[in-house]
Structure 1
Amino acid sequence: MQLLPKIWLSSPHMSGNETKYVQDAFDANWIAPLGPNVDGLEKDIEKFLKQGNHVAILSSGTAALHLGLLLLGVKAGDEVICQSMTFSGSANPILYIGAFPILIDSEKDTWNLCPVTLEQAIIDRIAKGKRPKAIIAVHLYGMPFKVAEIMAISEKYKIPVLEDSAEALGSTYKGQNCGTFGQVGALSFNGNKIITTSGGGALVCKTLKHKEKAIYWATQSRDDAPHYQHSEIGYNYRMSNICAGIGRGQMEVINLRVSQRRAVNTFYVEYFKDHKEIIVFQEPSTDYFSNHWLSAIILNSFEQREALRLTLEKENIESRPLWKPVHLQPVFAQYPYYGNNISEGLFEKGLCLPSGSNLSKPDLQRIKLVLDSFFN
């Protein structure tokens, strides 16, 4: 039997104007990792985020996190607190530097960094003679973390926050855009994100000085000289003018893409009203506005989660378990973890459902039919 076309978890969704910006780059022969589209995309994002931030466009969200840690002064041997319920890319840059991750559990409201556990961990690390150098807090699946509580702890202990907003462009907390709360912030434009540049990311900085330093590092730390001279270790982290052109076309429809993702989430909320035992991931209060990059549900058990995932897979519909917590990943098993296994429970029973902004009504109907057959 021939399968119907694949319904992806989160696929790229073009506006139609991307080709114009890309063609402009070809016409002007601006193919290198600099040019009008790079400058233009930085301005587009700065305008969107507001708050007077400065944006450096980079090759990935991981690169943004790496440079963000460097801007915060993290060095080899330092400790960095990191949310455990996240993609491993949030924590990997800590190891790039030779620093040590201290992994923290989630809370049940937003699935993000638990403020209570965070403070307990800070107190314990200080008692052990190790004051953490930075805090990586993530807006999981576009859901803002508990900004007021986390930033209050950051201020109390004078530990800066690196805000991982890779999944949260277009999300807000009390009307302020995610990515603008921490001392530095990171965005991602990977192919599955709410907007894409094929691959790419951005660093959000409070000061122009930080932006300029990030760009210096991202372009191999080349000194201002007529020859190639390097006084610091640098990285090849700048985005190409071609990819930035895709991003410019995407930024034209960012608000539409957010509304489309939120409409998909509403579809799941409405569907599961008749299945009270299933929890749909939603904002805990009106202070939170999620872009619902991915819509997720919590089922009754691991077995039920896997049964649904495999049922969808059989019908050529992609779904995915929640992120496996970083402290459960073999490569991070040796590092300290603080928590009450909230993230482990979420991983065990949680499933991300198709959430793309380009899901059609027939796509949603197909999903509904599979859900009906599974639950009924």
Structure 2
Amino acid sequence: MKDKIWLSSPHMGGSERKFVTEAFDTNWVAPLGPNVNGFEKDLESYLKDDIYVGALSSGTAAIHLALILLGVTAGDEVLCQSMTFSASANPIMYQGATPIFIDSETETWNLCPVHLETAIKDRIAKGKKPKAIIAVHLYGMPYKVDDITAISKEYDIPVVEDSAEALGSHYDNKMCGTFGDIGILSFNGNKIITTSGGGALVAHTKELRDKAIFLATQARDNAPHYQHSHVGYNYRMSNISAGIGRGQMEVLDKHIALRREMNVFYKDLFKNVKGVSVFSEISNNYFSNHWLSCIKIDSKLAGFTSETLRLALEDENIESRPLWKPMHLQPIFEKFPYYGNNVSENLFKNGLCLPSGSNLTDTDRDRITSAIQKLS
């Protein structure tokens, strides 16, 4: 059988082992240490904008802490982009709050400002002003920052900016992860850089970041014994994982360039195929890291469906994946309110994520080309 071509596999840069070995040699293997501090500083320098970063065990943990810091409790409502991975929505449930799902718009595939404002007005009319908005930069594509921020300010509802897929993406030359009241990053194994598993919370004040770290380290009070006045969590990143992250930061921009080259590769591959469009920026204000390159297929024009293409690639041991199934269609979430007009449903039905890793070779690209050309 041919070697597997993965959708997005980890890509080491070379220095990760040095930082991890140093952690072992100095016995810093706990969820604190020089690599954790160094990784946080690396991220702060990269994101700029006078922000403060807390390294955590996952992006999901970061969203959970963000909701806690914003005062979301049982019975509250949180507005959430429907087309996303479930980790964006699950922490709402952790808090006993109610998710209110919002459709996407067609240009960035992200949170629709029109449906967002409709939902806010309707929830307020029903006597329940939402506590927070979770907006996602899907597949690395910045959401409509100006519109979402304006709505957030008008109705005084804070934004949790889910940048799990968007490290290195930017809008108007400002980095994703720094727009919301609290930003979220992920370093899962399939992300643009990885710490094997991990995430981070991005705050605009040191006080908020420190509070997040306090909660992430079991909320231990300042005392010689173990004393706790708040519910705490075991959400801090380990010094070992952070060492991998420090090495990955050295190649982040290179990885972004390689992912963007894959997006260009697909644009060239499909340029003469009717009914297939490659997901791209809508203007020069947007810069996507193209964590995953995605296509949308009009089967009537193309002569094949997204599922037909997925299976054709699978036959060649090439991984592809449907776009995120919207949260309001998921069995666990289908009972909750949804505001929209089927944009996310149509994207799910007709879209496909294609191999996008920064470690793909010319041979891999030849195999992908051959498999697709057989079909088209």
Hey, what's the Cα distance between the residues in 1 that align with 2:99 and 2:32?
Answer: 33
1:212–1:322 Cα change, 3 Å: same
Structure 2 partner of 1:153: 151
Taking structure 1 as the reference length, the TM-score comes to: 0.98
Uncovered stretches (5+) of structure 2, i.e. residues with no partner: none
Distance in 1 between residues matched to 2:70 and 2:359, nearest whole Å = 38
**Are 1:175 and 2:176 counterparts?**
no
Asked if 1:342 corresponds to 2:343, the answer is yes
Q: Residues 189 and 196 of structure 2 are in contact (CA less than 8 Å); yes or no, is this contact kept in structure 1? A: yes
Match of 1:123 in 2: 121
Q: 1:25 is matched with which residue?
A: 23
Deviations 1:308-360 (A, max 9, x none): 10110110000000000000000001100000010000000100000000001
**Alignment of structure 1 residues 190-201 onto 2, 5 Å:** 190-201=188-199
> 2:357 maps to which residue?
356
Q: What does residue 322 of structure 2 align with?
A: 321
In the alignment, does 2:126 pair up with 1:112? no
Between stretches 67-76 and 42-51, larger displacement belongs to 67-76
Displacement of 1:254: 0.7
Q: Partner of 2:45: helix, strand, or coil?
A: helix
Q: Deviations over 1:27-86 (max 9, x none)?
A: 000000000000000000000000000000000000000001111111111100000000
Are the counterparts in 2 of residues 301 and 348 from structure 1 also a CA contact under 8 Å?
no
Deviation at 1:299, TM superposition (A): 1.1
Q: Secondary structure, in 3 states, of the residue corresponding to 2:271?
A: helix
Q: Which secondary structure does the structure 1 equivalent of 2:305 belong to?
A: helix
Aligned pairs for 1:1-376 (under 5 A) are: 3-301=1-299, 304-375=305-376
CA–CA distance in structure 2, aligned partners of residues 90 and 354 of structure 1: 23
- Report how far residue 304 of structure 1 moved: 1.1
Q: Deviations over 1:114-164 (max 9, x none)?
A: 000000000000000000000000000000000000000000000000000
Aligned residue for 2:295, secondary structure, equals strand
Query: Could you tell me whether the CA contact under 8 Å between 1:18 and 1:249 is conserved in 2?
Result: yes
Cα deviation, 1:248-281, whole Å, max 9, x if unaligned, reads: 0000011101000000000001111111310110
Secondary structure of the residue that 1:8 maps to in structure 2? Answer: coil
The residue identity in structure 2 corresponding to 1:87 is F
Look up the equivalent residue of 1:254 and give its one-letter code.
L
Alpha-carbon separation, structure 1, partners of 2:70 and 2:277: 38
Q: Which amino acid aligns with 1:12?
A: P
1:233, 1:160 → 2: CA distance? Answer: 23
Tell me the secondary structure at the aligned position of residue 191 of structure 1: coil
**CA-to-partner distance for each residue in 1:176-223, whole Å, 9 max, x for gaps?**
000000000000000000000000000000100001000000000011
Instruction: Determine the C-alpha separation between the residues in 2 that align with 1:300 and 1:147.
Output: 28
SS in 1 for 2:80: strand
Map Cα deviations across residues 215-259 of structure 1 (whole Å, 9 max, x no partner). 000000011111111100000000100000000000001110100
Query: Structure 1 residue 300: deviation in Å?
Result: 2.0
> How many residue pairs get matched?
373
**Identity rate, percent:** 67
Whether the aligned pair in 1 keeps the contact of 2:134 and 2:162 (CA below 8 Å) is: yes
CA distance in 2: counterparts of 1:229 and 1:310, whole angstroms: 56
AA aligned opposite 2:138 = L
Runs of 4+ aligned residues of structure 1 deviating over 4 Å after TM superposition are none
Q: Distance in 2 between matches of 1:228 and 1:72?
A: 26
Residues 83, 325 of structure 2: 8 Å contact kept: yes
Alpha-carbon shift at residue 301 of structure 1 (Å) = 4.0
Q: Distance in 2 between matches of 1:331 and 1:301?
A: 30
What is the rounded CA distance, in whole Å, between the counterparts of 1:152 and 1:112 in structure 2? Answer: 16
Equivalents in 1 of 2:319, 2:89: separation in Å?
26
What amino acid is aligned across from residue 106 of structure 2 in structure 1?
A: K
Q: Could you list the runs of 5+ residues in structure 1 that have no partner in the other structure?
A: none
CA contact (8 A) 1:189 1:200 kept: yes
**Contact 1:46/1:54 (<8 A) preserved:** yes
Distance in 1 between residues matched to 2:267 and 2:286, nearest whole Å: 17
Q: Tell me the distance in 2 between the aligned counterparts of 1:325 and 1:191.
A: 22
Letter in 1 for 2:322: P
Q: CA deviation at 1:4?
A: 1.0
For 1:276 and 1:204, locate their aligned partners in 2 and report how far apart those are by CA, in whole Å.
42
Q: Is the 8 A contact 2:275 2:299 kept in 1?
A: no
Structure-2 separation of matches of 1:49 and 1:91: 25
TM-score, reference length from structure 2: 0.98
3-state SS of paired residue (1:228): coil
